[in-house]
Amino acid sequence: MTGRFRNWGMTTSTDTGIRQQRRLETAIPGPLSRELMTRKGAAVAAGVGTTMPVFAAAAGGGIVVDVDGNHLIDLGSGIAVTTVGASNPRVVAAVREQVEAFTHTCFMVTPYEGYVAVAESLNRLTPGDHDKRTALFNSGAEAVENAVKIARSHTGRHAVVVFDHAYHGRTNLTMAMTAKSMPYKHGFGPFASEVYRAPLSYPFRDGGLDGAEAARRALEVVEKQVGAANLAAMVIEPIQGEGGFIAPAPGFLPALAEWCRANGVVFVADEVQTGFARTGDWFACDHEGVVPDLIVTAKGIAGGLPLSAVTGRAEIMDAAHTGGLGGTYGGNPLACAAALAAIETIEQDGLVARAREIGALLTSRLRALADPRIGDVRGRGAMIAVELVRPGSLDPDPALAKAVAAAAHERGVIVLTCGTHGNVLRFLPPLTISDELLHDAMDVLAEALRA
């Protein structure tokens, strides 16, 4: 690599001007946020919701500062995006340098080095050492759609298998692939055809089914209801995100990948949420040595700038005809500069190992709560969740999840819920957060559970 993409400066990712401490100056929301929420209500479509009614003014490290000066602990990373922090100095410097050079030419018109360098990085970092190719897009949903296009083009088949509790996006095809009706699909049909759903491995609710048995159960549905000969792709999140941070039992993913290989089905890992060090490996597939044919990435890829990718076996990726893949903005130069800086940060600052440390800290603090309403503590790395139930049962308690999240918000901790039943609290801090902030956030959570 030569030229502008080498010069990222000497600052470290912890070098942010924002005071790394939770501090409330006003009630949440404060008066300036309340005023902006009123303007939002009058100007922004009602369908675009917000987790918290506070407006951001600055963010970095493990803190979001709102317009009223409140310092909130960030356990959401803007939904698993700001893995290297929301104002990472390397990312800021790289984007600043690129924006002064040019903002856009369209890679399909006059290409630029940054796009190629991101493709090279993804080909190097993603699981497997086979020959790979990459195509860049703007959003996770757009990349998932393109993975399906590529798989169909390669196999000449139409059907796509997805899983219970899956989340793949909000476009028409990805709504069909997403499991949950409210809020993602309700009223938005009709949906794309040739999408079939198989049962997942969900250890907390499976009654002890091991990975191999759960895979057999899923594959029986696929063979009987779809037929391998009709199947272009099987698309799965190696740890489900919006579906509730469900990590399948060991052996489940390898068995599915093996079956796909034996049947000429393209095995697609949707690592939009789990990718880029989030789970304590570069990619969640690495944990069990699973090598997907195609891997879809987005969210944590570019330090907060919109970018997504499909990376995979050269012979599959190259099946689509020239001109068949692309888009006006796909692989925008600013996003590519940000991605290269984010990747360098993960490598140089040891953020893969940091994700494991964060996972160990969160897991031990959450287990120590020993609260009978916490049915399950699960996840890997900096992707940890608790599933809340009525004590002594598997009955989901979404009202409790909502109340605990609201109590944490009031106390200055940004925490998100997820899960088919909405009864899961999930923790996705930036990997640049300090241990002090994590401990403070866990103290707040304990208090919120008591309240």
Ligand X SMILES: *Cc1c(COP(=O)(O)O)cnc(C)c1O
The footprint of ligand X (CB under 6 A) covers 139-141, 144, 167-169, 237, 241-242, 270, 272-273, 298
- In three-state secondary structure terms, 147 is helix
**Tell me, what DSSP letter sits at residue 311?**
E
Nearest-approach distance from CB 38 to ligand X, in angstroms: 27
Q: What angle do CA 349, 4, 331 make, to 5 degrees?
A: 80
Q: How far is CA 309 from CA 54, 96, 144, 182, 335, in A?
A: 31, 23, 9, 27, 12
Whether the Cβ atoms of residue 60 and residue 400 lie closer than 8 Å to each other: no
Q: Report which secondary-structure segment, H or E, holds 35.
A: helix 31-43
Nearest-approach distance from CB 403 to ligand X, in angstroms: 25
CA dihedral for 272, 274, 277, 283, sign (positive or negative)? negative
Q: Which is nearer to ligand X, 238 or 359 (CB)?
A: 238
Residues forming a β-bridge with 232: none
Nearest-approach distance from CB 14 to ligand X, in angstroms: 27
Nearest-approach distance from CB 79 to ligand X, in angstroms: 6
Cα gap 28→57, rounded to integer Å: 15
Q: Which is nearer to ligand X, 170 or 402 (CB)?
A: 170
How many residues does the structure list for the chain?
451
Q: What per-residue string of b and e applies to 309-336 under the rule 16 or more CB within 10 Å gives b?
A: bbbbbeebbebbeeeebbbebbbbbbbb
Q: Which is nearer to ligand X, 112 or 163 (CB)?
A: 163
Nearest-approach distance from CB 303 to ligand X, in angstroms: 15
Cα gap 115→292, rounded to integer Å: 22
Nearest-approach distance from CB 177 to ligand X, in angstroms: 9
Cα gap 315→326, rounded to integer Å: 18
Nearest-approach distance from CB 48 to ligand X, in angstroms: 13
Q: Which is nearer to ligand X, 33 or 274 (CB)?
A: 274
Nearest-approach distance from CB 279 to ligand X, in angstroms: 12
Q: How far is CA 83 from CA 2, 274, 285, 375, in A?
A: 26, 11, 18, 28
Q: Which is nearer to ligand X, 97 or 164 (CB)?
A: 164
Q: Which is nearer to ligand X, 83 or 139 (CB)?
A: 139
Nearest-approach distance from CB 296 to ligand X, in angstroms: 7
Q: Which is nearer to ligand X, 169 or 412 (CB)?
A: 169
Whether the Cβ atoms of residue 68 and residue 32 lie closer than 8 Å to each other: yes
Whether the Cβ atoms of residue 279 and residue 241 lie closer than 8 Å to each other: no
Q: Which is nearer to ligand X, 70 or 83 (CB)?
A: 83
Q: Which is nearer to ligand X, 10 or 182 (CB)?
A: 182
The CB-nearest residue to ligand X is 140
**Tell me, what DSSP letter sits at residue 396?**
B
